[in-house]
Amino acid sequence: MTMPEEARPVVGTHRGAVRGIQEAPTPASGEAAVPVAAFRGIPYAASPVGERRFAAPLPHPGWSGVRDAARSGPSAPQAASRLEAVMGPRAADWDEEGCLNLNVWTPAAALAPGAPARAVLVWFHGGGWTSGSGGWDWYDGARLAALGDIVVVTANYRLGPLGFLHLPAIGAANLGNQDQAAVLRWVRDTVAAFGGNPGRVTVGGQSAGAYAALSLALAPDTGGLVHRVIAQSGPWGLHPQNPADAAESTAAYLRILGIEPEGDPAALGTALRTLPAEQLVTAYGQLAAMSTPPGEVAPPMYPVLGGPGVPRAWQEAVADGALGDKELLIGATEDEMTAFLAFGGADRSRVGPLTDRLFGDGIGEIAALRAAQGVPAYVYRFTRRPDPDPHGLGATHCAELPFLFGTFDAYPEAPMLGPVDADDRALARAFGGALAAFTATGSPDVPGTSPWGPWLAGPSQEVKRF
């Protein structure tokens, strides 16, 4: 049944009013039905087109009247994900115009006058800095908001060459990181209107999104906006890209486009800003095919050390105590690297060693540092595997995402998920409930479940298995 327009929730922001929709996520057995208000496709920055392409994000100029926020906005320009064989295909939905948008889910009761402000989870999608969208139904935040009585925010950021081309002479420097910082500033200034508390913000994400969450918590200009961190399957074995390597990737990319890398910066900027976005995306695919062998996690372009948002490597920053007293929940799946090695004839004997080197070892290092600093981390290992599992994926990279958001129906063709039964739905309640509880309280313990102890210094290193 369609809700009459006059009954749909309206929220006023400093850029204009938005009209959302009220949803009632179907509760699982033993859960109460909690109405949630959803506001999708809200611009948080001006469109990065024309002269704004390859420039730092600017605040959106705003709008008059009430903006419809019933549907997600466009994704950032991108090609198909290289993990489609694992997660299932997505229809292309990108448009450079309007791609810097975000989505908010809030318990409907939080919008009532005088209602207490809820804790906020700002969650960034993964995709290897190359693909993904906060507006996809994979990451629909309604169920998570209802499960934890929290406000959930997901957002887009620029990807591939439009987000991570390293050409500071024209303003192109970690633009995706700068977009993510702009999201946090929007939350600081605006989330109270949606019933959220800007003083209780957890920043989370998966894969490249986990890397972003930790970077935002560590960077001096955004760290004060972050109070807790959730880091799922971050590729901690990747150091930020060396500027010299990034310059080489940029030169190779420009040559593919037929642009002279040593040209005048103004001419370079003009050339890059006048090419169709489709051409920029296609050329990036050609660069990746030339430079990314099977099983390689690092894309040709990703955050560059010393650029905006990444003043130093996470190893140095965490060791120096840059997280302060921020609580941390961090973990990985059991078989991360099968997503990258199960198809295409790659050497599967490398799964275990590469999973440890790129994902697991960094988790232990971060957790040990936090324990030594007196702020122990909560560490998990996600072990659920599909049954049947014809591709031998096990608990692969991204396998926990349907269980966090409870969005099983959004993955109809995902080998990583397979058939879902009552035990899986109970696992989703436990996993999503733990991360929502951490967002709200700083502890992932949920009533009725076994306690989750933190990772402590010395031999008491507890890892929660899901």
User: Percent of the chain having pLDDT more than 90?
Assistant: 89
Tokens (6 digits) for 9: 């929730």
pLDDT at 346 over 90: no
Domains of the chain, CATH where assigned: 5-465 (3.40.50.1820)
Provide the whole-model pTM: 0.97
Res 239: pLDDT: 94
The answer to which of 37-41, 260-264, 281-285 has the lowest mean pLDDT is 260-264
Asked whether 217 and 203 are in contact (CB, 8 A), the reply is yes
Query: 72, 81, 131, 207: which is the annotated catalytic residue?
Result: 207
Mean pLDDT of the chain: 95
pLDDT at 422 over 90: yes
Res 2: pLDDT: 59
Please provide the DSSP assignment of 426-466 as one string: HHHHHHHHHHHHHHHHS----TTS---PPB-STT-B-EEE-
Tokens (6 digits) for 81: 């994900």
Res 349: pLDDT: 84
Condensed to tens digits (0 to 9), the pLDDT of residues 226-259 reads 999 999 999 999 999 999 999 999 999 999 999 9
Quick check: is 207 catalytic? yes
Please state the rounded mean pLDDT for residues 126-134.
98
Q: Measure the CA dihedral 299/240/307/46, to 10°.
A: 50
Closest listed residue to residue 19, CA positions, set 1, 31, 3, 34 = 3
Res 64: pLDDT: 96
Q: For residue 62, give the 3-state DSSP assignment.
A: coil
Please state the rounded mean pLDDT for residues 347-358.
88
Query: 60, 125, 166, 397: which is the annotated catalytic residue?
Result: 397
Condensed to tens digits (0 to 9), the pLDDT of residues 29-88 reads 556 688 999 999 999 999 999 999 999 999 999 999 999 999 999 999 999 999 999 999
Please state the rounded mean pLDDT for residues 311-327.
97
Res 456: pLDDT: 87
pLDDT at 184 over 60: yes
Res 297: pLDDT: 86
Condensed to tens digits (0 to 9), the pLDDT of residues 358-395 reads 999 999 999 999 999 999 899 999 999 999 999 999 99
Query: 96, 327, 336, 400: which is the annotated catalytic residue?
Result: 336
User: Percent of the chain having pLDDT more than 70?
Assistant: 96
The pair phi, psi for residue 129, each rounded to 5°, is 60, 20
pLDDT at 295 over 90: no
Please provide the DSSP assignment of 305-332 as one string: TTSTT-SS-HHHHHHTTTTTT-EEEEEE
Quick check: is 227 catalytic? no
Condensed to tens digits (0 to 9), the pLDDT of residues 75-100 reads 999 999 999 999 999 999 999 999 99
Quick check: is 397 catalytic? yes
pLDDT at 273 over 70: yes
> What's at 181, amino acid-wise?
A
Closest listed residue to residue 103, CA positions, set 177, 18, 181 = 18
pLDDT at 198 over 60: yes
Residue 333 confidence class, pLDDT cut points 50, 70, 90: very high
Please state the rounded mean pLDDT for residues 136-164.
98
Closest listed residue to residue 55, CA positions, set 140, 158, 128, 191 = 158
pLDDT at 279 over 80: yes
